[in-house]
Structure 1
Amino acid sequence: MLVVIKVGGSLYDYENLREVLASIRSWFQPGRPYSDCSPLLIPGGGATADVIRDWQKQHQIEEEAAHWLACESLELNARLIQSLLPESRLVDHLEQSLGAWKEGLFPVLRTSRALQLAESSSEDGLQPEPLPHHWDVTSDSIAAWFACRWQARHLLLCKSIPVPDKMPVLEASRSGIVDPFFPGLAGHIPRIDWCYARQLPCNSIPWLQQGYPIS
């Protein structure tokens, strides 16, 4: 069973990011919350994606081009995470991810390549509609989309803010906690968990089940 982990871009300037990543990895060890699952980490955008937003405004770049530039910027973030997470591997699709974990290597998704492969293929998993190529879709929805497509058991959101306890997903979207496209995907994921990563020791807390808050 798969757990998709989204590490928020707001954590890249956090001095304890290495410890956060080590904690996430430990949750997949025997006796821990996700011990019977395989992980797949998807990097958030953060400042690198913000650069693309600025370029689009300055140079009037079309939405489609800006979308792929932003996705490609996530590979830089993936390489940052790889440098901080020992025994990790960059992967492009689910089969590579599962293979890496069997070898004891923590898989980190190269988002742009993975999206290109997934949007051009009908062979791996479910078929949610392709993601719109505009700024309503951030790495939150990209992670949720892959969780739907690859039938993940959980989606784990690691962010810089506490869990929006009992908050409906639409309200979380309106508050800017998740992106505008995310609510439409959340109901297709069995459970969405939350990690308040700027509070150590960090933990995984259930947030949504089939899109509804867990009381």
Structure 2
Amino acid sequence: MTWDILNVIGTIAFALSGVIVAMEEEYDLMGVYILGFVTAFGGGAIRNLLIGVPVSALWEQGDLFVIAFIAMTIAFILPKLWIHHWVKWGVLFDAIGLASFAIQGAIYAANIGHPVSAAIAAAALTGTGGGMIRDVLADRKPMFLRQEIYIAWAMLAGLIVGMGLVDSTPGYILLLILIVTLRMLSVSFHWRLPYRRIND
């Protein structure tokens, strides 16, 4: 039940982030749905391709597709009802989605018997793959590569799960709290990984 709730929160958060980008780019309704769906489910599709899980497994998430569709429709028709709340709570919801999807991606890889490297990659792609596709379709630089620390927290979740340091629901919940906390701290204090400019 806990994972189901987190899945719903993460799916809605990622779908709404796709809606925001689509409306900022002045896409039509179909563009809103496409960006919303690829943001919410694109990471899982890429993960499945990477670790050998049939992509058709995504279609077993029918309830989440319906929830995402309803959320995007309401968001498109009545944007004024949620934009203010998104500004306040959107980063937290996104952090929950990142953490829960990253952990689930790592669990997928670990349960199949893949090495730690695969768990790290699966966590990173599940947590950020949808946003990457969204930004490419919107002709934007991928956000997770340039703002605060984002993909690194997903990779940390993959490392911990892949090494077998947690393997029970209570452990996964504690890991999720850790990843969400680190993500929120990186936003609050503007933590960034080292980077260089070529033309300084």
Q: What TM-score range do you get, normalising by the shorter chain? A: 0.3 to 0.5
TM-score (norm 2): 0.35
TM-score (norm 1): 0.33
**Structure with greater helix percent:** 2
